Copies of this chain bind each other. A is one copy, B any other.
Amino acid sequence: MIKTVRTVDELRKIVRGWRAEGLSMGLVPTMGALHAGHMALAARSLETTDRTIATLFVNPKQFGEGEDLESYPRDEQTDSDKLGQAGVHLLFAPDVDQMYPANFSTGVSVGGLGDVLEGTYRPGFFDGVATVVSKLLNQAGADRAFFGEKDYQQLQVITRMARDLNIPTVIEGVATIREEDGLALSSRNVYLSAEERRAAPVLYQTLMQVASRVKAGDDIIELENWGREQVLAVGFSSVDYLSVHDAETLEAFGERSRPGRVLVAAKLGRARLIDNVPV
């Protein structure tokens, strides 16, 4: 049974004790509904630090109107069991009042990086992410914090935010975990019907082909258009974006000498899936 705390005071008391013993600490922020992707973050933290703290908080500030805040999958008991079995040392699972007390009125915003791609389709999403993550980092005061590359833009936004605000926690990205057929693990994959689930891996296959043809020197605009057609052809209802970007600034991919990233967001039935691969 993993120890669970619900207040910042309890969390800090335990952290102070660990600090006093000279132990290093890793933080794994999650919204629960844990899958092998989350467990890979925990494994990386367990491997590189002495004590691992997982957090479970479905952050209302990062859900827009009409999004799935109410229906987002929640099962703390199962999550807690998984973390305990993996050897995670502490679960911090605050309620909304603990995170956003009366008169809460501060927002953290990352311009540029947070305005493109997901930022266009989910206004306010990255403000909600940057705000809650800055809180979690300050609450725990861990040495390192682990985020999945599946949410690639989120990882870049958090890395920039922590650097800009001088939060002294190292942000580390962990490679995306995939099903055997290539579909990136996501808590939202449960929204897929059996038929949709069969079509879903085309997202990853298309990204891989686009990345390989960018490397080969093909025209980027044509590749992006081709990619979108592939995805729509197998039953996705719309493609918010499928495009090639600078891996760090997320600006349009220009110099092929710099690392690039192909990113996609597309709707399949009730689910909106995102994925990305390096160039």
B-binding residues in A (CB < 8 A): 8, 12, 101, 103-114, 130-131, 134-135, 138-139, 141, 160-161, 163-168, 249
Contacts and interface: CB of A to CB of B under 8 A. Distances in A.
Given A106-B111, A138-B167, 19 more contacts: A12-B168, A101-B163, A103-B160, A104-B164, A105-B111, A105-B112, A105-B114, A105-B160, A106-B108, A106-B109, A106-B164, A107-B110, A108-B108, A108-B109, A108-B165, A131-B165, A134-B165, A135-B166, A138-B168
B110 A109 contact: no
- What DSSP secondary structure best describes chain A's contact surface? mixed
Contacts of A111: 105-107
A231 B129 CA distance: 46
A108 B110 contact: no
Given A138-B166, A166-B135, A168-B12, A109 B112 contact: no
Nearest to A136: B166
A135 B134 CA distance: 12
Number of copies of this protein chain within its complex: 2
Most buried by B among A104, A113, A166, A167: A166
Contacts of A167: 138
B135 A165 contact: yes
Nearest to A12: B168
24 contacts: A8-B166, A12-B168, A103-B112, A103-B249, A105-B111, A105-B112, A105-B113, A105-B114, A105-B160, A105-B164, A106-B108, A106-B130, A106-B161, A106-B165, A107-B108, A107-B111, A108-B109, A108-B165, A131-B165, A134-B165, A135-B165, A138-B167, A138-B168, A139-B166
A167 B8 CA distance: 11
A110 B108 CA distance: 9
Contacts of A249: 103
A109 B163 CA distance: 17
A254 B128 CA distance: 33
Nearest to A107: B109
Nearest to A131: B165
A168 B168 CA distance: 13
Contacts of A108: 106-109, 165
Nearest to A111: B105
